[in-house]
Each structure stands twice: as C-alpha cells, then as structure tokens.
C-alpha cells in the first residue's frame, strides 16, 4: 500500500512513518497543503490512501480535500485534526473525507483505520465509479427489501417508496444497507463501527453520527425519515411510518 501523508508536524509524520514501515507500506510525506495537493496531482492513481491534516500552511486542509475530490471521487481520504467539534467533522465529511481521526491519536488507531478503509475501498472498486445503475422495480433484483424500501448491493441502488435515494457515498450506502437488513433492530455506534468501518475499539463514535446526519439529509429529499435514533443506545431502520 502507498500512502500520501499531508501533515505539517514533522514529528507526527516521522512517528507514523515508522509504523507504516512495520506494515511494509510506502509513504510520501508532504508538509503543507500546496505540496500535498501537487504530490497528488502528479500521480492521482498512485496512492491507496491519503491522510490529511486540516491545519496546514499555504492551503487549508478543507480546501485541499475539495481539490482532491475534484480530481478523484474514490481515493480513500482520512482527515487528521485537533479540531473536535461536530461541525468540523460534518464539514470534512461533506467535502469527501471517508473517515475522521481527532488528535492526539494512537498510532495503532490510525493504522487500524487505514486497514479498514483500504478493505472497504477494495470492495467498492468492484462497482465501477460513476456507473449508472439500471433502475428496476422487481424485488428479485434487490437483496434488501422491506415494505417501502429496496436496495441492491450489486448496482448500489437504494429506493424509498419507489424513489431513488441519490448521491450516497460508499460509506453511507454501507451504513444504510447494514441498518435496513435488520429492520427495527437497534445498533449501537460501536456495532456500526465494527460492521461498516471494519474496526472495533479504535473508532470515534462521532464518525457514525456525522455519517448518519448526512445520510438522513439525503433520505429526507425523497420521503419520511427511516433512520431513527434510539436515545442512549444507537440507531435503527424503520419504514413503518410510510404505512397509511
């Protein structure tokens, strides 16, 4: 695996470099935003993962993320930052980050996040980026079906009351599929981190909350909210509101 680490703190970069070396990963370091963006532009297909600090000289990490996503919608991107507010997380995710790690962090936590994101990216690549799924209404073409919801893992298509839920990122789709496969079952944030992000104990639960928030916004464009909060526990899928 080849990693582009855009991080202005040289001590952090050197420390992570040692951990990456133990995993036999190659790393390219960039110490400011402009340098990192130029490194990606020079070889946009050459990196398996990008880690991106938000507080960077010459170009803010948010702008770097926006520029990277304009070039590639699929390269896995993990944001690293000392900012820990929910608004910063949501903004980072809206700009295309796949995950969010708050400083200070354990090196093993970041390694685990990278491994999990890389596994998910390999699965997602089996569906060509930008491929337009053929719209269909036959339940046999969907592997998740409830009274008012249909989802196809093959075409990455999700319908609520016959209307497509559009613009789902790979993580949002996987999150929706996990919840909808077990209607009314309550999943804790820890369970969702393990099932959707492929890691346990290392995860930041706010990553789940931020993705749920974005997912709900896209669902609400086509119908009633089917992702419900169970206070003090987690989240569940319930489309019974559409009955009647």
* DSSP letters for 87-153: HHHHHHHHTT-SEEEESS--HHHHHHHHHHHHHHHHHHTTS-TT--PPP---GGG-SEEETTEEEET
Name every residue whose Cβ is closer than 8 Å to that of residue 37 and which is 6 or more positions away in sequence. 6, 59, 64, 67, 68
Cα dihedral value 117, 123, 124, 129, nearest 10: 120
d(CA 105, CA 95): 22
Contact 171, 98 (CB under 8 A): yes
Confidence (pTM) = 0.64
- pLDDT given at position 124: 52
Q: What is the pLDDT averaged over residues 183-210?
A: 79
Sheet strand arrangement including 2-6: 26-30, 2-6, 49-53, 77-81, 99-102
Q: Is the pLDDT of residue 216 over 60?
A: yes
Strand ranges, E, within the chain = 2-6, 26-30, 49-53, 77-81, 99-102, 144-146, 149-152, 157-160, 163-164, 187-188, 227-230, 234-237
**The Cα angle at residue 121 between residues 229 and 30, in degrees rounded to 5:** 105
What is the per-residue pLDDT across 10-68, written as a single tens digit (0 to 9) for each?
999 999 999 999 999 999 999 999 999 999 999 999 999 999 998 899 998 989 999 99
Q: Of 99-103, 148-152, 190-194, which range is least confident?
A: 99-103
The fraction of the chain above a pLDDT of 90, given in percent, is: 49
Q: Is the pLDDT of residue 233 over 50?
A: yes
What is the per-residue pLDDT across 144-191, written as a single tens digit (0 to 9) for each?
999 999 999 888 899 999 999 988 877 889 899 999 999 999 999 989
- pLDDT given at position 112: 86
**The Cα angle at residue 16 between residues 7 and 196, in degrees rounded to 5:** 90
Q: What is the pLDDT averaged over residues 196-207?
A: 66
Q: Is the pLDDT of residue 88 over 70?
A: no
- pLDDT given at position 140: 59
Q: Is the pLDDT of residue 75 over 50?
A: yes
């Amino acid at each position: 695996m080849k990693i582009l680490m855009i991080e202005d703190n040289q001590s952090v970069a050197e420390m992570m470099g040692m951990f990456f070396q133990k995993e036999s990963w190659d790393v390219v370091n960039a110490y400011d935003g402009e340098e990192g963006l130029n490194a990606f532009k020079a070889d946009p297909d050459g990196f398996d993962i990008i880690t991106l600090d938000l507080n960077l000289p010459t170009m803010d990490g948010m702008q770097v993320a926006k520029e990277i996503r304009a070039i590639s919608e699929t390269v896995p991107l993990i944001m690293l930052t000392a900012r820990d507010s929910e608004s910063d997380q949501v903004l980072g995710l809206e700009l295309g980050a796949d995950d969010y790690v708050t400083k200070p962090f354990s090196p093993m936590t970041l390694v685990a996040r990278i491994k999990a994101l890389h596994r998910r990216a390999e699965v997602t690549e089996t569906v060509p980026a930008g491929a337009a799924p053929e719209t269909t209404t036959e339940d046999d073409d969907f592997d998740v079906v409830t009274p008012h919801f249909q989802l196809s893992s093959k075409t990455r298509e999700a319908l609520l009351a016959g209307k497509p839920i559009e613009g789902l990122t790979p993580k949002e789709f996987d999150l929706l599929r996990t919840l909808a496969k077990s209607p009314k079952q309550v999943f804790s944030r820890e369970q969702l981190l393990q099932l959707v992000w492929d890691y346990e104990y290392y995860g930041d639960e706010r990553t789940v909350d931020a993705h749920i928030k974005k997912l709900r916004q896209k669902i609400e464009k086509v119908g009633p909210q089917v992702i419900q909060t169970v206070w003090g526990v987690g989240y569940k899928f319930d489309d019974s509101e559409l009955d009647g």
